[in-house]
Amino acid sequence: MNSRAENFYAVWRERCRAVNALRDGGSVPPEKLLQAVWQHQRLQRDRLKTADGRSLRVLHPGFVSVEGGPDFRGAVLQFENDKPVSGDVEIDLQSSGWRAHGHDKNPNFKNVILHVIWEALGKIETVPFVLALKYQLDAPVAELALALENEAGLPEALRGQCSSPLRELNEVQLAEILRAAAKVRFENKAKAMLARAKHSGWEAALWENLFRALGYKHNVWPMQNLAETKPRWMRNAASAFEIQARLLGVSGLLPEDLTRAQKSSDTFLRRAWDCWWRDRDEFSDCTLLRTVWKFHGLRPANHPQRRLALAAHWLTSDDLVSQIEDWIADDISDQKLLSSLHKIFHVERDDFWSWHWTFKSARLVKPQPLLGAARMTDLAVNVVLPWLWIRGACARSPGGSEKLQGEVERRFLAWPAAEDNSVLKLARQRLLGTARARVLKGAAAQQGLMQIVRDFCEHSNAVCADCRFPELVRGWRASAAI
Ligand code: SF4
């Protein structure tokens, strides 16, 4: 094979990229490159010094944060000979960025233990500690720009300690471990539903979990609260619009002011206020404050106001529960699982929300569904299937319940993969050593991997301290080979 010097394409690339890497900030490399340098630890690691002269050992650089806040989460660092500490790392070009970007006042940055910058100029903040990279790189910056340009994902050395035993498994063995972990997760969810059902009945447990699922991870609790007060705000509400107006009112999400810019939104708001005006005193003791909702990082399509509209349509249908029961009794092929359940939860059209992401957004050119296939998969694996399964387990006739539970399990294991997310992305790279989403063949495999993260990674740290999972995998593989 030709060396790089002989390969004219490599020479072109080298010239262009090296120049580009430095063009953004004159002699200062772009922040993205500093992040890559930190992630791949292209540093003189055995002689790192902070700006105030302390020696620094990076036991783990942490994981790229994908949800805002500091650039790297969960790094493990040792300053001087002190005990290693775990915390976050923020990367900026200059130390002044710490205050200029408001990190000093932002609670999301309170766990930052190291501020990585390009060059220490002027007054340096000492808390958190500062590491200037300019004179501590392991190669010239232009060379690093080239080397790191296409480095996606986690460097080999930063994979978890279980990555090697997991990669020694064959496909069937790996699937077996993931399936076993997925079943644990599934049964835990089902048992939590049983606990709720004992208190408030099966239907209430289903609605609570549907609402929770509509809250995604940021708004689970306000959604749960709304579901708990459902018997009150549903009383005498007839149409989907009336339920929507009540839900918006009780949730604290009905805007007080008209937009004055979107005519259709203002028409909707006037109608909603006409309903809520009459009701609000009656529900004042169960009305939530708007401040309990989180909007940061939400896609407009997932705004809780839109999710409440979807719930209002489900609540208008008298027979959602019986449709779910019929669905599990029907003979449905693996290929039609998703579409057949989607038909039950799909809302044909909402006069306002099919055409708007939020009250402030302009009318859409094409109507957009209130529930996409990806969200349907989340509802299926997190709510509908566990609910059917645990109801089956509690059914009176033992033969019938086993058959029902067996069918629910079959559907769970056959369910197509859900949308990828940041937890899965990191877990695939860290545990399975691959960025490829397709390595997880269905929703159950994804759920299994998330359960392993919860059971092991969340009880350890970035360097896998005291994690028993690698040894368990090795032992399991050895016993399977006997
Ligand atoms: S903490 Fe355990 S399960 Fe997580 S990556 Fe490390 S070895 Fe694997």
For 224-284, give the DSSP string: HHHHHTHHHHTTT--SHHHHHHHHHHHHT-S-SS--SS-HHHHHHHHHHHHHHHHHTTTTG
In a domain, 449, yes or no: no
In a domain, 339, yes or no: yes
Label residue 10 by pLDDT band (50, 70, 90): low
Q: Which residues, 6+ apart, have CB-to-CB distance to 342 below 8 Å? A: 371, 373, 376
Same-domain pairing of 220 and 111 = no
Q: Which residues, 6+ apart, have CB-to-CB distance to 22 below 8 Å? A: 29, 141, 142, 145
pLDDT digits (tens, 9 = 90+) for 92-109: 988 888 888 888 888 899
Q: Which residues, 6+ apart, have CB-to-CB distance to 179 below 8 Å? A: 413, 444, 445, 448
pLDDT digits (tens, 9 = 90+) for 329-386: 999 999 999 999 999 999 989 999 999 999 998 899 999 999 988 899 999 999 999 9
- Closest-lying ligand 1 atom to the alpha carbon of residue 160: 5
In a domain, 286, yes or no: yes
Same-domain pairing of 146 and 175 = no
Answer with the one of 117, 151, 185 that is the final residue of a domain: 151
- pLDDT number for residue 4: 47
Label residue 248 by pLDDT band (50, 70, 90): very high
| 445 Cα–ligand 1 center, Å | 17
Label residue 427 by pLDDT band (50, 70, 90): very high
| 143 Cα–ligand 1 center, Å | 32
The whole-angstrom distance between residue 256's C-alpha and the CA centroid of its chain comes to 31
Same-domain pairing of 278 and 183 = yes
Mutate to test the pocket of ligand 1, among 162, 466, 468 (most ligand atoms within 8 A of CB): 162
Range of the domain at 241: 171-414
Same-domain pairing of 73 and 210 = no
- Closest-lying ligand 1 atom to the alpha carbon of residue 470: 7
Q: What share of the chain is helix, strand, coil (3-state, %, to 5)?
A: 55, 10, 35
Q: Which residues form ligand 1's pocket by a CB distance below 6 Å? A: 160-162, 430-431, 452, 456-457, 460, 464, 467, 469-470
Same-domain pairing of 211 and 120 = no
Q: Which residues, 6+ apart, have CB-to-CB distance to 368 below 8 Å? A: 301, 354, 355, 357
- Distance, in Å, from the CA atom of 240 to the CA atom of 226, rounded to the nearest integer, reads 16
- pLDDT exceeding 90 applies to what percent of the chain? 60
- Is the pLDDT at 12 greater than 70, yes or no? no
| 464 Cα–ligand 1 center, Å | 5
pLDDT digits (tens, 9 = 90+) for 131-159: 999 999 988 887 788 777 666 566 776 78
Same-domain pairing of 129 and 178 = no
- Distance, in Å, from the CA atom of 185 to the CA atom of 192, rounded to the nearest integer, reads 11
Q: Which two tokens stand for residue 132?
A: 């200037």
Same-domain pairing of 183 and 327 = yes
Same-domain pairing of 142 and 190 = no
In a domain, 350, yes or no: yes
| 424 Cα–ligand 1 center, Å | 14
Label residue 455 by pLDDT band (50, 70, 90): very high
Answer with the one of 374, 396, 414 that is the final residue of a domain: 414
- pLDDT number for residue 85: 92
Residue from 45, 34, 60 nearest 116 by CA: 34
Same-domain pairing of 176 and 56 = no
Label residue 90 by pLDDT band (50, 70, 90): very high
Same-domain pairing of 97 and 237 = no
Asked if residues 452 and 160 have their Cβ atoms less than 8 Å apart, the reply is no
Same-domain pairing of 221 and 145 = no
In a domain, 330, yes or no: yes
Q: State pTM to two decimals.
A: 0.77
Q: Is 59 exposed, middle or buried (0-12, 13-18, 19+ CB in 10 A)?
A: middle
In a domain, 263, yes or no: yes
For the chain, the residue count is 482
| 270 Cα–ligand 1 center, Å | 54
| 298 Cα–ligand 1 center, Å | 29
In a domain, 467, yes or no: no
129: phi then psi, degrees, rounded to nearest 5: -65, 150
In a domain, 278, yes or no: yes
Q: Which two tokens stand for residue 440?
A: 């997880």
DSSP 52: T
How many structural domains compose the chain?
2
pLDDT digits (tens, 9 = 90+) for 20-50: 454 444 467 788 889 989 988 889 988 999 9
Q: Which residues, 6+ apart, have CB-to-CB distance to 302 below 8 Å? A: 216
Asked if residues 371 and 346 have their Cβ atoms less than 8 Å apart, the reply is yes
- pLDDT number for residue 25: 43
Q: Which residue, chain included where needed, has tokens 């930190």? A: 38
Same-domain pairing of 35 and 144 = yes
Average pLDDT, the chain: 88
Answer with the one of 361, 384, 414 that is the final residue of a domain: 414
- Distance, in Å, from the CA atom of 247 to the CA atom of 232, rounded to the nearest integer, reads 11
